[in-house]
Structures are given as structure tokens and as C-alpha cells.
Amino acid sequence: LKRKGVLPPVCHPVRSRTPHVLSFPHPPGDGIRRLGNWNIPSPTISPLLAIPSRRAHSRTAMGTFPPLLLLAFLAVVSSSVGAAPDATAVVSRIAFGSCANQSAPQPIWDAVAGFDPQVFIWLGDNVYGDNKRPFRVFGKERTVGPWKNVPRFYPSTEDELRGKYELAKAQPGYAKLKEKAQVIGTWDDHDYGLNDAGKEFSGKVFTQRLMLDFLDEAEDSPRYNNTTSQVILLDTRYHRDPLLSDGTILGDPQWQWLERELHGPPSEITIIGSSIQVVSNLSAVTGPLFYVESWARFPRERERLFRLIDSSKRNGVIFISGDVHFGEIARFDCGAEYPLYDITSSGLTQSVENAVPAVFRPLMRFLALVTPTTMRVLSPNCRYKSCSYGQPNFGAIEIDWNAVPQQIKLELRDVQGHFVHRVEFPISELHPSDVYAAKKQAHGFQRYCTLEIELPWLTRYKLALLFFGTTAGFFIVMVLLVFTCLSTGKKCKRE
């Protein structure tokens, strides 16, 4: 892809293949430029948009653009220094992942490179840029529990965060991947700067700059201002309202941009990257034990997203997401007139099973199995176990444009590169159908349609009931044991 020069924002036909550009939001009035294109089969070409450059940032101080409007749209297009993809090549292999601790071993990069992707997409927590205090339930500084008086997480300085990015870039496996694949990405909370942070975070300006540096964008790179359309990466941080507010995730300007994109020229496949899960609502079935971030925590925003996709009549929308430290494939059949898949890959190093001693991992798998779910895709590969995967993983999308009919394969792969979960189907299944339109009108329980919050009370809170029931049972057994010992001791003394 070109790194110099400015091309006018016009569309040119490319014989039987038409270019699709990676599109991201841009501030009104900022320059529009064009780079080389990736191609997929499609009857039309999408227009180009731009994201703010560093020069645009400097204009903000002079009042050209409102600061939050300009900086709201951090979604990054990056080209690797050593990679030079063929502008006429058809993109058929895409890998993606999230949650990579820069201080941890990262053997999974060999498996990602072995998949031979043309594009790799970062989905957030690309580094763990914030700092974490020790786990303390008691004492002067309590960092966990309802009585905590000190936040567990706190931001890094700019120099600290820069050092963490440098450590991540020095990973040899990642460097090898960058030699053969284009790398793009968005951010989540830990590389945004603070765990679970939203628009209130004050350090987002310098964390934005460091993230762009991590993706190898030179300060004068035209790619700060250029995008092409096929993958849409959303910024779920810069304008996100506080959790439990049921406010906004994207902010109005980003919504307006997304509406223009989805109502624009059609494409066979549109991948929407979100750092947090779109389809699954784990918090609805794990509360009050714990909660995770997701679009479902902002139900009006998620419903607006589904309505937008439905009204756009756009074929082939697929979500990819990260954040939760396990992998799964979910689908929602009642959001549009075809199934909306959400492939969650998390994480490249961080995983729920590796967070506990090995002796407790079977327990983690059992809890994953009994956790209620209505959206997780079931398959013969996980008939007798959970269809989530709690070890390090990455996501893979493979498209066979030459098959009749054309096929798409959505996978989760482990650290060895073997698939652990897979769905495969004709691309035509991601076209509007009367079957799914009718399903939206039906009543009663429907897998892939009934929301988790609509489950019966006993089903929805099965995990909490199991936890509190087990805890209560253990407590009762201990009380009875102590009572028995005391009674036996008194009896022995009397004798």
C-alpha cells in the first residue's frame, strides 16, 4: 500500500474485482485521502473516509474542531513496515485477537503466523497499559470487595505506557507476523489507559498517540487520514458513558458516521470490530457474582445497532470482539433478517483458566458448562463440554470465494493453531430472509433469539444459586462438624 501521495476521494472500477476499504470515522472537514485497496468480490466500491491525523490534533487547540468530536474516532489503519500486499489480491484470510500482556510469554504468534493471514486485527487490550495494586480484602488499603477504599487499577505515566508498547513490539513472534500481514486495530480499556474507563478518562490524548505509534504509523503518514471499507472498527471507549447509565457507547458523531457507512454501497461481507461483546450478555447470568462489560450493559445502544443493521438491508455483517478472556462464537437471529454472528477471541495471553492454579481448571470448565446461555453457538465438537474456550486463543475468518456457493468459515484456534470451535456456512445465509423476519415475531423461548434477561428466574440465576447454595451447604456442614466435636468433647469429659 502507498505511504506517500494524496489521491482524490473518487471511486474507480477495478475490472471484475472492486476495492473495499477499511473504514473508520473522521471529523467533518478533515482532509480525505486515498491509499491502495484490498479487494473482495462485490458489485460496488465503498467511498473513502478519514481519521484524524496528528496535524488535525494540533488544529484542535486552535478551535478548528471540538476536541471530543475530533478525538472520538480512534480507530486505526496500519501497514506493517515489511509487508507490501498485492493491491489486486482478494482478501480471504483474516486473523484477530485481543488481550495480550506484554510481560507474558506469547507463543501464540507462531500459530497466528501459521494461519498465514493477509490481515491481522487487534481488538483491544493490545497491551496492559494501566497498573494494578495488590489484591487486598483487608488492611489499610483495600482494593477489592464492597468495602474497598482504594481503586485496584490506576493509570501509567506516558513514559511507562511507552515502555510497555516497546516491550510488546519486541515480541519476536509478533514481529514475524508483521512481515507477512497487514496489521490494523482498535483499543479497549487497558490500552485506552484504565480498566473499564470511558469518556471521563483524562489521559486519552497521549494514549491515543502511543497506540498509533505501536501500529507503526509515522507522524506524517497519510494512513492517519486514510481508510478503505470492508472492516469497520468501532471505538467503544472515547465517548462511552458510565456503566449502568444506559447512555451511549459510540457518541452521536460516531453513530452518524456508522449510519452512513452501513447505508452506503453494499458488500458481500462487512466485519464490525468491537472491543467488547455485542451479542452475548454474560452479566445477565453471572450477576450478582460478577459482571463484564458488553453492549448488553447499554441495551438501548445495542438495540439501536441491531435496528441500524436491519434497516440498512446490508448483507454479511459479522461482529468480532474480545475483552472477556475466553473465546466463543455467538449468534443472534432476531436482530436482523439473517443471523448476526459474534466471534469473541480473548485472549492471546490472558485467559480465565490460566488465571487460576491448574487444580481448579476443571472447576472453571464445569462452571462454564453450567452457565446459562441462549446465544452461544453449539456444535458437535463441544457436545459434552462448554462451547466456550478458556485457554489462549485467536480468531480466524476464512472465505472461499471460488466455491459454489461461496463459503465462509469462522474459527477459534488454540496456541498450537488447531481449531477449537468452528462454524462454516454459505455466505448467502447472511442475506435477508423471510424465515428470520418471521422468527422475530414469534413468542416463547427460541435459542439464538430469546435474550438472557428474558430467561426464567431459576434458569438465569442458576450460577449464583449454585454458588450460594454450595457456600451455604459448606457453612452448614462446618457448623455441624464443630457442634458435633464440641458435643463429643463434653460427653467425654462427663465420662
At residue 31, the pLDDT reads 27
How many angstroms separate the CA atoms of 274 and 342, rounded? 10
Predicted confidence band of residue 494 (pLDDT cuts 50, 70, 90)? low
- Average pLDDT, stretch 446-466? 91
Write out the DSSP string of 274-288. -SSBSS--THHHHTT
93: exposed, middle or buried (Cβ count in 10 Å: 0-12, 13-18, 19+):
middle
Q: Looking at the domain assignment, is residue 304 inside a domain?
A: yes
For residues 222 and 388, which has the higher predicted lDDT (pLDDT)?
388
Q: Looking at the domain assignment, is residue 87 inside a domain?
A: yes
Q: Return the C-alpha torsion angle 377, 379, 383, 385, nearest 10.
A: -50
Number of domains in the chain: 1
- How long a stretch of residues is the chain? 495
At residue 320, the pLDDT reads 98
Q: Average pLDDT over the chain, rounded to whole? A: 81
Domain that holds residue 181: 18-460
At residue 219, the pLDDT reads 59
Residue-wise pLDDT for 221-230, tens only, equals 444 433 333 6
9 three-class SS: coil
Write out the DSSP string of 89-143. PBP-EEEEE----TTS--THHHHHHHT--SEEEEES-SS--SEE----SSSSS--
Q: Looking at the domain assignment, is residue 382 inside a domain?
A: yes
At residue 216, the pLDDT reads 79
Residue-wise pLDDT for 145-174, tens only, equals 878 899 999 999 999 999 999 999 999 999
Q: Looking at the domain assignment, is residue 1 inside a domain?
A: no
Least confident of 160-169, 326-335, 411-420, 427-436: 427-436
Q: Looking at the domain assignment, is residue 492 inside a domain?
A: no
- What stretch of H or E contains 374? none
Q: Looking at the domain assignment, is residue 440 inside a domain?
A: yes
Angle at alpha carbon of residue 228, lines to 224 and 229, rounded to 5°: 135
Instruction: Check residue 60 and report its DSSP letter.
Output: H
Predicted confidence band of residue 486 (pLDDT cuts 50, 70, 90)? confident
Q: Looking at the domain assignment, is residue 321 inside a domain?
A: yes
Predicted confidence band of residue 236 (pLDDT cuts 50, 70, 90)? very high
Q: Is the pLDDT reported for residue 466 higher than 70?
A: yes
Contact 49, 257 (CB under 8 A): yes
Looking up residue 186, the CATH number of its domain turns out to be: 3.60.21.10
How many angstroms separate the CA atoms of 156 and 160, rounded? 6
Residue-wise pLDDT for 3-48, tens only, equals 333 223 222 222 223 333 344 333 333 322 222 334 333 332 222 2
Residue-wise pLDDT for 58-112, tens only, equals 333 323 222 222 222 223 333 333 444 554 578 899 999 999 999 999 999 999 9
How many angstroms separate the CA atoms of 326 and 369, rounded? 13
Q: Looking at the domain assignment, is residue 490 inside a domain?
A: no
Neighbours of 301 (CB within 10 A): 19
Q: Is the pLDDT reported for residue 255 higher than 90?
A: yes
Predicted confidence band of residue 434 (pLDDT cuts 50, 70, 90)? confident
